[in-house]
Chains A and B, each alone.
Chain A
Amino acid sequence: MSRAFLTGNHAAGYALVAAGEANRGARGCCGGVYPITPQTEIIEYLSAARFSRGAIVPVESEHSAMAVCMGASLNGGRSFTASSANGLLYMVENVFAAGYYRLPIVTVVSNRTIGPPWNLWVDQGDSLALRDAPCLQFYCESHQDLVDTILVAFRVGEDARILLPALVAQDGFLLSHTQMVLDLPEQELVDRYLPPLDLAHRLNQAHPRTYGGMTWPRDTEKQREEIQDAMDLVPTVLEEALNEFASVFGRRPDGAFSAELTTDADTVLVANSTMVRTAREVVKSRRAAGERVGLVKAKLFRPFLRDQFEKAIGAARRVAVLDRNHSPGSGGIFWTEIATSLRTRSDVLLQDYVVGLGGIDVTPAVIEGILDDVQRRDGSVAPLFIPEAAL
């Protein structure tokens, strides 16, 4: 392991390059790229990279960037790209297509608020807009988590039982543009962790095939069922991938949900991304003061593993969800998933808090206020907006 001092974007770039390079013995790698703040440094990093076998293809739009990735992936190349906000929304059609083609493309998302109004700062509305895409979604809390999860995403997505693309999200600026210390996985270890991509359905001149042609309704339904089956296998494959990661790299990245101090907790905070790190400090200090509070880190959003979530909160009776996103007419997007996960738990008071929209700072004080609020509440109400100024 080599210790480095990098921005989140450069760390992500490093991981993508290492993963691509690890496929040099097979069909190499390829990224179709188009820049957008706050992801641009990833594109810069990729564009400067020299691959043993592979290429970065600068194109005129995010839609084409994903199209390049699909072409490369369908040819057996390890493919990756990155985007943010409105750029990611422009890519959406092809993200769906990549999933339905069963192509294990990894897209790093530097989360950014969707405009208008024009706003550069973090908000998860962009990647969560792909909630219904056939695509895995991971939310990372740190530079280390980001680098490790990118490798895990390739490993899981490329598994013959899964064959799905993945989004790996980091908070725009809070991680993407913040330079911090992390361990960079060495190429040799990445080579060991990521076997050559062997895509069974890749283009093959010996066996000409047509992809994505017209099908009958029943065939389409079957395809959707197969994708659901693959999603259902993610917990198994992810577990294997994390175990393998631990044996190769000597550390184990977090899985779908990480329960921290929840065993005897009355109240549990659910958070993701950098908010987890702030919440963790608050929970620790409350514990020190004798309160029975716990924390669940939600990292895997797609598939949403309902059973694992229910297990993670333990016996808690009050659950507060921090959502740095907002689905108009519904509320926090993680909250709606959690609500369906707890549909049989009528004993739990589940309250959603919409925080940090448009890049508002989620300070320890904000989280303290949320804990106070959920603890004194008689019953849950519609999702509460908690702007910083309210506290």
Chain B
Amino acid sequence: MIEIVIHGRGGRGGVTLAKLVAGAYFLRGNYVQAFGVYGAERAGAPVQAFVRVDVEEITTHNPIAAPDHVVIIDPSLIAAERISGMRTSGVVVLNTEAEPEAFADVFPGRMIATVDANGIAVANRLGTQALPIVNTTILGAIVKIVGLQFSDAEAALENANFLGPNLEAARTAFELVRVQQLDGPILPSRPNVPVPALGFFDHAAGSPPTTRTGAWASHFPRGRELTPVCSDRCPAGNDVRGFLQHVIRRDYTAALATILKTSPFPGTCGRVCPAPCMSACNRKLLDEAVNIRDVERAVADNGVWPMQSAPGCRERVAVVGSGPAGLTAAYHLARGGHRVVVFEADAEAGGVLRRGIPAYRLPRHVLDREVEHILGSGVEIETSHPVDSVELERLGTEFAAVLVATGLNEPRGLDVGNSRKSAVVQAIEFLDSTCRHRIDLAGSTIVVVGGGNTAMDAARTALRLGARNVRVVYRRTRAEMPAIAEEIDEALEEGIVIDELLAPVCLRPGDDGTTLECRRVVLGEPDETGRRRPMQVAGPQAVVSMRCDKLMLALGQSPDMSILPQRAEMEGCRVLTRFGEALMFGGGDFATQEGTVAAAIGSGRAVAARIMAALANGTAEQEPDQQLAGPDVMSLGRFPLSAQHRCLLTPAAERRRSFIEVRRGLASKGSDAVVSEEAARCLSCGACNECETCVVFCPEGVLAADGPEPYSFDYDYCKGCGLCASQCPRGAIVMGPCSEVVSR
């Protein structure tokens, strides 16, 4: 009879090893017996497994007291007492990196076999670095030292369905095991009388053995950060969740720094952005969106703006146009170390922000502060410097790259008959002219055609310049108006009338003033934009006439492409036609025609990245396509309801005749509690905000707040139950296979 004792730790495969060794002999036709010492295995305590092999039936069921061979599969268990009672003829098999000779003092006089089973197992991805599973590896070594063929190990593994890496590991161990007879007399040993563990520990005698319960897990949790829907929708790419978290702690300066990483216009966007982030906010499914726009405004107003910096010294880049896209691109290029010169036709920087958006929406001091900060970031500007195609070509010889960001400046016209030219003006030109000289519309009746923000801005500006009646004529209904909803509400409050479903046809001079004739419109099938197509109604009953001293057209604008040479082609933001030496780009509305400040900012940042990559002869790094923290990963029911804090408004009566700012933000100056309260309504979708839910629910206490991450998981003790992941209200914990999680 051959008797083998295997020493291992509970749950690490010692019994399976015994069965594999016995299986190898069984398949050769022997009687075999394989069993373990059960009960203590969960204690991770030292345990044994036993193998008997005989040519006759085996009748004993007692543990092995005098083994032929002893196998120690856990390096930490190598000690003289493990071979107590062992016969003199056999081999001691050790899982160790060391050579047999290293054990001269521990096992003198013994035949020692060593194999680095941990290393072989890890190399074959059996278990993990911390908890390698070495049994199939060691089988190869045992088969070698007892004189069997590797094919016996192979057969045993195959019989037990251990294939692939297990087989390879066993083969490596079979080849690499080293056997050495050590010198010296064999140490006397007491007979080995195994005593089953009693299942309790006398704490007076010491501590219970350590149980690395992480070995039981198949999956581990890990923290993750998903892209919140607000940031995903922000055209400028702002880290909305990130700056709101700073505001909760009233750290406006950190919040401002967070926004400035993507957008140099927080004060502007905090006032005029249509806030698609708020439309997407998960909180809308619970009660109301977080008032992100007004919190951003407070950040710009309360944060300490960063120090100025000198112009960069890398490549020279020209930016044509100082609107939101041009200035944003210049800002990012300058931060990237490039030397940027902005060319502005006007006497002041700002483009549409200064000339197109009235001061009651965007006070000039706010714009000035942001322009000043951009220029302070190392951007040079040449104002009153118009650029046409000839000048553009010149810039192409002087600069390494040129960006055209001249926005939209070709307003769409409308044929209303051959009336007095002065009775019809473009709304955008009207807004521009109000910035340049004083205009008095006292007593007049103004009709604005259009439904966008320019229409609202022109109508409300006309009212403030003394117009008695201001009407907005729109061919669809209010619901289809592209203008920001709040702007429409405020216009109505101020007394502006909106005439829906009307199309202007003709402007007729009369004795007591000019009359605008419109035709009634019905909405038909949706067009390619998804909006229902307006169709004029025929017949005399469908004609509506209204007094109109001045008709303002706000029907949209298109870019002026004459700045580019004829037949110049664009692909995205890249101008394909080369002229001059420079790399030529287009940005903002000039390239995208999206028509919002936020989109222009986003385009400016994106095109700056493209320019910098092109100057470095590379391609712009694609931002990884991240999983969104949509409502599906959120447990919205866990959050208490709370109403949105709304923006304070200047009373309508007060604002009708002045350019005082209409929207006053969340709080009057000096009282910012309401701002941080509003920020605290942010659910922090998809990112840990240290709410401690996981810590409370973890039944094992393996979560700690001591690392660089908000929480760290102790994978030595995590059983992979998944409660933390299932209870995290914001989807910031995910389960994954242990090997993937640990190797990250």
Contacts and interface: CB of A to CB of B under 8 A. Distances in A.
Contacts of A37: 38
Contact of B35 (A117, A178, A361): A178
Interface string B37-67: 0110000000000000000011111110000
A179 B30 CA distance: 13
Interface string A270-284: 000010011011000
Nearest to B29: A3
Nearest to A171: B61
Given A5-B26, A177-B38, A361 B63 contact: yes
Interface residues of A, number: 28
B378 interface: no
A181 interface: yes
Contact of A119 (B57, B58, B199): B199
Nearest to A122: B61
Contacts of B61: 171, 174-175, 178, 274, 277-278
A69 to B, nearest CB: 27
Given A179-B34, A181-B26, A121 B196 contact: yes
Nearest to A119: B199
Contact of B59 (A118, A277, A359, A360): A277
Contact of A179 (B22, B57, B194, B200): B22
A120 B62 contact: no
Secondary structure class of chain A's binding surface, majority of residues: loop
Contacts of B39: 119-121, 359
Contacts of A383: none
A71 interface: no
A255 interface: no
A178 B35 CA distance: 4
Contact of A117 (B26, B36, B194, B199): B199
B200 A117 contact: yes
A278 B36 contact: no
Contacts of A180: 31-34, 58
Contacts of A253: none
Given A278-B60, A281-B60, A361-B196, A177 B36 contact: yes
Q: By CB atoms of chain A within 10 A, which of B34, B39, B61, B194 has the most?
A: B61
A360 B58 CA distance: 20
B59 A281 contact: yes
Contacts of A5: 22-23, 26, 32
Contact of A361 (B18, B26, B59, B194): B194
Contacts of B200: 117
B373 interface: no
Contacts of B38: 37-38, 120-121, 173, 177
Interface string A81-113: 000000000000000000000000000000000
Contacts of A58: none
Contacts of A177: 15, 35-36, 38
Contact of B19 (A173, A175, A179, A361): A179
Contacts, number: 68
Interface size class for chain B? 20 to 34
Contact of B34 (A38, A178, A361): A178
A274 B63 CA distance: 13
Contacts of B57: 181
Given A5-B23, A121-B39, A179 B199 contact: no
A239 to B, nearest CB: 26
Nearest to A364: B62
Interface string A108-132: 0000000001111100000000000
A281 B194 CA distance: 20
A363 interface: yes
B57 to A, nearest CB: 8
24 contacts: A37-B38, A38-B38, A117-B199, A117-B200, A119-B199, A120-B39, A120-B199, A121-B39, A171-B61, A175-B61, A178-B34, A178-B35, A179-B32, A179-B34, A179-B35, A180-B34, A181-B26, A181-B31, A277-B61, A278-B60, A361-B62, A361-B194, A361-B196, A364-B62
For the complex of A and B, 9 pairs with smallest distance between CB atoms: A178-B35, A5-B26, A274-B61, A179-B34, A277-B59, A120-B39, A174-B61, A180-B33, A179-B19
Given A171-B61, A180-B33, A181-B26, 11 more contacts: A5-B22, A38-B38, A117-B200, A120-B38, A177-B36, A178-B34, A179-B18, A180-B34, A280-B59, A360-B196, A361-B194
